[in-house]
Structure 1
């Protein structure tokens, strides 16, 4: 169960990381649209699991490799944005959020 503080930090990180991808890290996304669907923060606020939705889904693996290579720069940009609000900037781990693909698959199966 997430505490109120974890929920607030998660919302803040989701907003800021999505702005970083939209404005500063366009080269990393390689022409795809990257959106942050969720951020889950650990109880000690030291690690943040960030779930990304990537569209179009053709080259997800390459985009995720680029994002993983640029994690330190993304964390640095995040630190510049939220450094006054947080004492420790959490370690970032990125995961693909495939819930939309799952919903599309269910819709397709139900229409048959």
Structure 2
């Protein structure tokens, strides 16, 4: 039992973000949202993309970006479209953050299905 507590505390401390990571995550989230809204809206058509979470590595070299899409029947298709154009997205992002960041992190995109999961839980609870 004592070992479990140590492991949980160690996990917590290893996965805490530094202040710098939090600032860079917020900056990337804000600027990526602007890129999606203003510069590549024609790429997605009528689909609205929302950047829900940005997680950045401690060395600020890699970022995981979680995106939710609305309204879309198959979000995997929209995510594939984003992944296929990730170079263009990174270039647009680089132009926006060139004064704040020395290196634009490598970005990996993931589907954030937390809204669908919450909807499913709510549906199950109503039964």
Is 1:19 equivalent to 2:41 in the alignment? no
CA contact (8 A) 1:30 1:63 kept: no
User: Which entry has the higher C-alpha Rg, 1 or 2?
Assistant: 2
RMSD between superposed Cα atoms in Å: 0.9
TM-score for the superposition, normalised by structure 1:
0.96
TM-score for the superposition, normalised by structure 2:
0.85
Q: Which runs of 5+ in 1 are unaligned?
A: none
Q: CA deviation at 1:64?
A: 1.1
Deviant stretches of 4+, over 2 Å: none
- The equivalent of 1:43 in structure 2 is 58
- The equivalent of 2:103 in structure 1 is 88
Which has the bigger relative contact order, CA under 8 A and spacing at least 6? 1
Q: Which runs of 5+ in 2 are unaligned?
A: 1-15
Higher helix share: 2
